A and B are shown apart, each in its own frame.
Chain A
Amino acid sequence: MSKSRYQLPDLSIQLVDDLIMRHIDNGSSVIDLGCGDGRLMQRLSGEMNCNVVGIDVELSNVAAVMRRGLPVVAADLNRGLADIPSDTFDFAVLSQTLQQVQRPKQLLKEMLRVANRGLVVVPNFGHWRVRYEVLRRGRTPITHALPYEWHESPNLHFMSMRDFRELMQSIGLRIVEERPIINGRSVDRAWAANLRADSAFYLLERTSTAIPESA
């Protein structure tokens, strides 16, 4: 991996967690999809008195969450959320995971089936450095935190902010709030955000009260 190649954003955990927590109500119920070792869950539970549940596919992560005394259900997000009943949570969190699942569209629909609101953080592949890298060198960008070559990368889907907005419209989800993340700061809005933001945060909800069909 060449040093000069563009690195996908390695967002500070603190920044992303704070951003997510700002959009979650105290005492609400939250499902964290791809919860990892349960770090965010612990903050939501401890600092905000939220009723949290994690979902993760790795047994080591399940054990890590249980060591924190928090509930976690082992499941593969690629297989949907069939075992999670509809309308069970106030919020569903999907932090830096959407680009790694096989069927992002289905998962987003599922997310808003089980929860009233969805919080998503994803890298923006519309960023100018990505475009430049592809144009100039014809190479796929590599992340710093996940230094995988394209053929080993867990990141399966690359989307820009514009792509994301279009998808939301097509599946009947409303973007309540969109926050570009530029140089490690989340901002209310920005000119040419799709060029300048390395990642984006979205708060989503269903457009109607009807529960979308299960994937």
Chain B
Amino acid sequence: MPTVANDNNTMKDVNSVGIVSTKYATLFSETAPLRFLSGATVSPVCVAYETYGTLNERRDNAVYICHALTGDAHAAGVHAADDEKPGWWDGLIGPNKALDTNKYFVICANVLGGCQGTTGPGSIDPETGARFCLDFPFLTVSDIVSVHSELVRHLGIDKLLAVVGGSLGGMQVLDWSVRFPDQVRAAVVLASAPKLAAQGIAFNAVGRRAIYADAGFLNGKYYESEGPRYGLALARMVAHITYLSEDSIELKFGRRLQDSDRFAFEMQKETEFQIESYLHYQGKRFVQRFDANSYLYLTRAMDYFDLSEGHKSLADAVKNIQARFFVASYDTDWLFPTSQSKELVSALLQVGKHVSYVELECPFGHDSFLIDIGPLTELIAPFLEQTLLAARAE
């Protein structure tokens, strides 16, 4: 990535969208509330979102990014010049990148039920004036997508050029292209699956148990106190392991010790190995930025996701989609294994849909889609370009 030194003598990425800020939209109203799949209603819904690039006059160049479990609206650029880290998918979004902001208008919003600006369990319930906590309606991927879809209409866009997402984000892409087929021209589904497998549910269950079992949980009404920070940190530690691979963990940490080259023979020392120290650090950092209630709701939404639910088969579920698909999985991803992506590709082929698929080789496990930007760029860039060309030829 080309970089130039600016006046402050710090390195600046010339292909960055630069300094961006999060915007807020208020969607739905008392007369037309957001109706959850469970039947519950909420209004209004506040959505935190960011946009990069410019919507053109034809309004045909909008690309929507769906973030994964613990992501947020800040996908690219920085919020301030001295920010240490850019947005979570900065490698993919920016001038001359796969999602080229010279060409496309890129939108990313925090999901419903989240805790980074969009209405979720930590928000104030307008009906009671108190935080929702566990009175927030039961959440599904479809409810998340209903809000995304409404935001797109709110921004004056009839049809998106593409919806792009990895992991839980990929599930949103799938639900979106099935439930709002005429809103999506192209779908990019990375390291994802048409349903969460038992193994994924198992790890989510452990994470939730850690939160529930924390004495600070207080039935979800912990906002005036410390909250279930040990439980949430533990949930993150477990989940973090599932995002890595055996190889990457071995390569990065091996059996190396953190502070010494000799064992301490001390029972309570919890950060002796580098991998231990790393996981504790990940847990601690996560607690600072994430709400335990959101974690409960969003992991449950993931567990419940099954695209073929209510249909005879997966192929039947996808038969009305209009979008062309690009699906990619990673050879070292054991949380969303290749077999699940292939199941989706087979179903799409069976009903004659336009679908391209690759299994990419990358050592970083499930997280590969966030790290291994090169091959993705080579495939996503032409996929979007060709989709736009086809749209304009219509």
Contacts and interface: CB of A to CB of B under 8 A. Distances in A.
Interface in B329-381: 342, 345-346, 349-350, 352, 354-360, 375, 378-379
Contacts of B389: 69
Nearest to A72: B356
Interface string A57-71: 001001101111101
Contact of B386 (A29, A53, A69, A83): A69
Contacts of A88: 349-350, 352
B349 A66 contact: no
Contacts of B352: 29, 51, 88
Given A73-B357, A88-B350, A63 B345 contact: no
B340 to A, nearest CB: 12
B382 A63 contact: yes
Interface residues of B, number: 25
Given A62-B379, A66-B379, A85 B324 contact: no
B383 interface: yes
A66 B346 contact: no
Interface string A33-56: 000000000000000000101000
Given A62-B379, A67-B386, A71-B324, A83 B356 contact: no
Contact of A83 (B326, B346, B383, B390): B346
Contact of A84 (B349, B386, B387): B349
Among B326, B349, B382, chain A packs the most CB atoms within 10 A around the CB of B349
A74 interface: yes
Nearest to B328: A74
Contacts of B324: 71
A71 B355 contact: yes
Interface residues of A, number: 19
Looking at chain B's contact residues, the main secondary structure is helix
Nearest to B324: A71
B378 A85 contact: no
Interface string A70-94: 0111100000000111001000000
Nearest to A51: B352
Nearest to B315: A85
B390 A62 contact: no
Contacts of B387: 69
Given A67-B386, A88-B350, A74 B375 contact: no
Contact of A71 (B354, B359, B379, B382): B354
Contacts of A66: 326, 356, 379, 382-383, 386
B358 A62 contact: yes
Nearest to A31: B349
A113 to B, nearest CB: 13
Interface in B275-321: 315
B359 A67 contact: no
Among B326, B342, B358, B383, chain A packs the most CB atoms within 10 A around the CB of B358
A84 B343 CA distance: 10
A159 to B, nearest CB: 30
Contacts of B345: 73, 83
20 contacts: A59-B358, A59-B360, A62-B358, A62-B379, A63-B378, A63-B382, A66-B382, A68-B386, A69-B382, A69-B386, A69-B390, A71-B324, A73-B345, A73-B355, A73-B357, A74-B357, A74-B359, A83-B346, A85-B315, A85-B346
Interface of A: 29, 51, 53, 59, 62-63, 65-69, 71-74, 83-85, 88
Given A69-B382, A74-B357, 5 more contacts: A63-B378, A67-B382, A69-B387, A83-B345, A88-B349
Interface of B: 315, 324, 326, 342, 345-346, 349-350, 352, 354-360, 375, 378-379, 382-383, 386-387, 389-390
List the 4 closest A-B pairs by CB distance, nearest first: A69-B386, A85-B350, A74-B358, A67-B382
